[in-house]
Structure 1
Amino acid sequence: MRSLIRKINRIVQDFLRPKRLALGRFLWDKKQEKNEELIEGNRVNMEKVKSILFLRYDGKIGDMVINTLMFREIKKRYKNVKIGVVARGAASDIIKFNPYVDRIYNYEKGQEPKLAKKIATEDYDVLIDFSEMLRVNQMKFINLCKAKVNIGLDKKGWNLFDLSYEKDYNKHITDMYARVLKVLGIDFPDLSYDVFTDAESVDRIDRKLRELGTLDRIVIINPYAASKHRSFNRDKIIEIAKRVLEDPRNTVLFIGEESRSAEIYSIAEELGERAKYPKLHGILDVAELIGRADYVITPDTSIVHIGVAKKVHMTAVYRLDTGDNNSVVWGPNSKLVKQVFSKDVAALGEEADINMFDVKEII
């Protein structure tokens, strides 16, 4: 009965969604004035720009990690330009100590008008949005921010946006960020990422590692991703860890959310004294620990991107692409990372199982 209700609800939502979006565009796809003095062709006239606002309200940690390349490259070229970022959740922590970000705005669903009106008082010259599909509340938010120039992804034909950029789904996501930087007058940027941790995180990880004793080689295993279909199951976690522990120099350190701690503690106990689960305090502790590792194994792209920022050797496990080119667009894009693919092919209407790979490929 519940599955039937869910199915009916999906059908209703699919029916209503285009109507809501059409109404949203009718109400919010407008702009009071076009500031043409800030635009030259399909580029922004950066000589007249004093501030740029980035919208990263999706809360995705990995996306924010990659986005850091833009903050740095803009500041390298235009050091006096103010950079503001609208962020959400743990993604805010990724840029909390970033020296290239001047202002962070905490995004809360339902509070968009209040935040947008606050931002409007700061009179941003340029606003950059990364949404592939804008929801109605996001249209309203952008409209109320009142930036002089709005830039969006595939937004040709929109009144709300002054400039549009494109995404090539056959290339890594950094290609898209390079396209945006080109709109801002920056060619041939450095596409590496930054994750800056604070003194408290450094101190906490120092203490954790001292408590764990002398460790020859640290191998971090992050078993879980945002979706259960992209997470390792218990049997696969144990199989991977045993493979790693075949080398007597290796110690396995598990990372994972507090909600999975019971399972991780149980697995670590089963594996013995060279498998441990250190308690961490947020994503910056995770990033600091990753920076100390000799190797990282993960199915989660946010951890992949943090590892790339920290220049750590890794194995990143992906499911086979099914037309979305995910492993290319959101892949590691680093010679330090080995990609391993699950061999499972999903049946129609189902999700592929990421656990269908040979652990001998891992390390």
Structure 2
Amino acid sequence: MQKILIINRLGIGDVVLTTPLAQILKENIKNVKIGFLVAKKAEDILKNHPYIDDIFVYKNKHEKKKLIDDIHAKEYEKAIIVDGRLSSTFIAWRAKCKPLNKACTFSINRKQFFGRKALAPRAIEDFSMYAKTIFNINYDKNLLMPKIGNCDIDKKNSIKKWMQQIKKDTKEIVLIVARTAADIKNWNKDELSKLNLYLNENGIKPVYIGSNNDRDYIESILGEKINIAGSFGLRDIPEIAKYASWALSMCTGPLHILGTVEKLPIIAIYGPSNPLRWAPKNAIVVQSKLPCVPCLNWAKCKREKGNTCMDEIKFERVKNIILKYALIK
């Protein structure tokens, strides 16, 4: 049996978009076992995954030895280092895994050296390309579809009951991801409030998803809403989204999780990041028209708050998208 370890310790979205690689390997290599090494924040999305046999979690440097011992104990012999990090290469070596690709990226004071070379413009195609370049597996890139782990049965049942209740309070289920961890990637709250009030006028109380840390922020948005931030896990999002008419999100992990739900229209609001690389294929992209977009350098944006690329996107543009695609029935 071959045992192949996929390593991607980057963000939730990066891990979601790496899952097609696991599927391609699982479906095209006989008698193969697939392990996946992720950062702690991405652990939950891979549980109950049909194409992943073992999940290894990088928590912190103090627990690195135990992690390496766990990988070695499971006898993984090969590693695909999707995140491109030199530190991930060292983990693979110490666990007696042979790296199948070069990964030399490291950072000093947030400045990156020997950055990973993309194999394709779109992230989902880029990460999947290792199946072709390493194993010579041919696949249709147009059929690549990310997938996270299945929702637990008890959660499915509770979501179904909960949906039956809230459908009495809203004409449609519209999901909104209110913000990201990087403030510069967040849509202006005043414009988001205008959207919320517009939906209220049309009989809709939008459902806001997020973490516990987002609850107060969501409550500060004007208008009636259903705030479930912190009430459900990441693997519950696709199950909730099955009941939704459409969704809206900035470029963040939950956007890519919503992107795993086929035929769900998603309004994706983009500023500093590049939708050509990151936007789900079912996304209707609304992007800032500032000349500096996309800058890919949101940590060092020199524009004052209130004058950023995300501030430039006004509610009327989003409203026009809603009307154009007849999203409100």
| TM-score, scaled relative to structure 2 | 0.79
Q: From 32, 39, 46, give the equivalent of 1:88.
A: 39
SS at match of 2:184: helix
After TM superposition, list the pairs within 5 Å mapping 1:150-165 onto structure 2.
150-153=100-103
**Inter-partner Cα distance in structure 2 for 1:260 and 1:309:** 23
Query: What's the counterpart of residue 202 of structure 1?
Result: 156
Give the conservation status (yes or no) of the 8 Å contact 2:234–2:254.
no
Q: Deviations over 1:244-290 (max 9, x none)?
A: 33433x331111221221232343xx413xx2113522212233222
After TM superposition, list the pairs within 5 Å mapping 1:92-241 onto structure 2.
92-110=43-61, 111-135=63-87, 138-153=88-103, 166-168=117-119, 171-182=121-132, 183-189=134-140, 190-195=143-148, 196-214=150-168, 215-241=170-196
Q: From 198, 213, 226, give the equivalent of 1:259.
A: 213
Query: What's the counterpart of residue 284 of structure 1?
Result: 235
**Inter-partner Cα distance in structure 1 for 2:92 and 2:302:** 36
Q: Which runs of 4+ in 1 moved over 6 A?
A: none
Residue identity opposite 2:205 in structure 1: T
Correspondence 1:61 to 2:12: yes
**Inter-partner Cα distance in structure 1 for 2:41 and 2:157:** 20
After TM superposition, list the pairs within 5 Å mapping 1:236-315 onto structure 2.
236-248=191-203, 250-267=204-221, 270-272=222-224, 275-278=225-228, 280-311=231-262, 312-315=264-267
Correspondence 1:356 to 2:312: yes
1:299 deviation in Å?
0.6
More displaced, 206-215 or 182-191? 206-215
Q: Tell me the C-alpha RMSD between the 2 structures.
A: 2.5
1:304 deviation in Å?
2.3
**Inter-partner Cα distance in structure 2 for 1:210 and 1:184:** 47
Residue identity opposite 2:219 in structure 1: Y
In structure 2, stretches of 5+ residues that fail to align are: 106-115, 323-329
1:320 deviation in Å?
5.1
Instruction: Among all aligned residue pairs of Structure 1 and Structure 2, give the percentage whose two residues are the same amino acid.
Output: 22
Q: Structure 1 residues 264 and 317, CA, compared in 2 at 3 Å: closer, same or farther? A: same
Give the conservation status (yes or no) of the 8 Å contact 1:62–1:302.
yes
Q: Structure 1 residues 139 and 69, CA, compared in 2 at 3 Å: closer, same or farther? A: closer
Q: Structure 1 residues 298 and 349, CA, compared in 2 at 3 Å: closer, same or farther? A: closer
SS at match of 2:174: strand
**How many pairs does the alignment contain?**
291
| TM-score, scaled relative to structure 1 | 0.72
Q: Say which one has the larger Rg.
A: 1
Q: Structure 1 residues 349 and 149, CA, compared in 2 at 3 Å: closer, same or farther? A: closer
**Inter-partner Cα distance in structure 2 for 1:253 and 1:276:** 5
